[in-house]
Amino acid sequence: MKRTILALVAACALTGMAKADVVVGQGGETLFVLKSDRDLGKTADQRANDVYDRLRTILNNPNFRGSQIKVKPLGNYGMKIVANNQLIVPIGYDEAKANNTTPSLLAKDWAANLRKVMPKLNARPYLFVNKNADKKKPAVAKKPAPKTKRR
């Protein structure tokens, strides 16, 4: 099954900075929307891909619970959302500004949604496939045709 990435990228001029709306979702569930094209040195698409990799690791833990999701400071750079001390998503000042809020308030909002949605995803592990599954699969050798006797 292909990894479902809902990515809607819309560029517009916003005080000289491009703005993107990248929906981070899985299995029909929206986790959050990255609105800043760049934050903490990465594009929205790069940050979304990082989140998918981290979620796969976190949700592979059969003991995962939504209550393990916490908001913590990210030094002078903003806030971060973690699950059992594993990073899910960092939130910098550019992302918070694009959402018209502060990193702290944005992190609390996203964390609340993650607490509701991630346990649903944990119950459906088939949603997260091997990272290499999107790559071209090697060709499978066909069985040779049966030999016929010559006369």
Cα→Cα distances 124→36, 43, 91, 101, 119, Å: 30, 29, 27, 33, 9
Note whether 7 and 48 are within 8 A (CB). yes
Residue 121: what pLDDT?
Answer: 81
d(CA 23, CA 5): 8
> What confidence score (pLDDT) does residue 70 get?
97
Task: Give me the DSSP letters along 66-128.
Answer: GGGEEEEE-TTSEEEEEETTEEEEEEEHHHHHHTTS-HHHHHHHHHHHHHHHHHHHHT-GGGS
The answer for residues whose C-beta is within 8 angstroms of residue 143's C-beta and 6 or more apart is none
For the chain, 151 residues long, the average pLDDT of each consecutive 10-residue run is 32 45 86 92 93 90 92 95 95 96 97 92 58 39 54 60
User: What pLDDT does 126 receive?
Assistant: 58
The dihedral over CA atoms of 7, 13, 18, 24, expressed in degrees to the nearest 10, equals -30
- pLDDT for the residue numbered 93: 96
d(CA 24, CA 22) in angstroms, rounded, equals 6
Q: Are strands 69-73 and 78-83 parallel, antiparallel or unpaired?
A: antiparallel
- CA pair distance 128, 141, nearest whole angstrom: 28
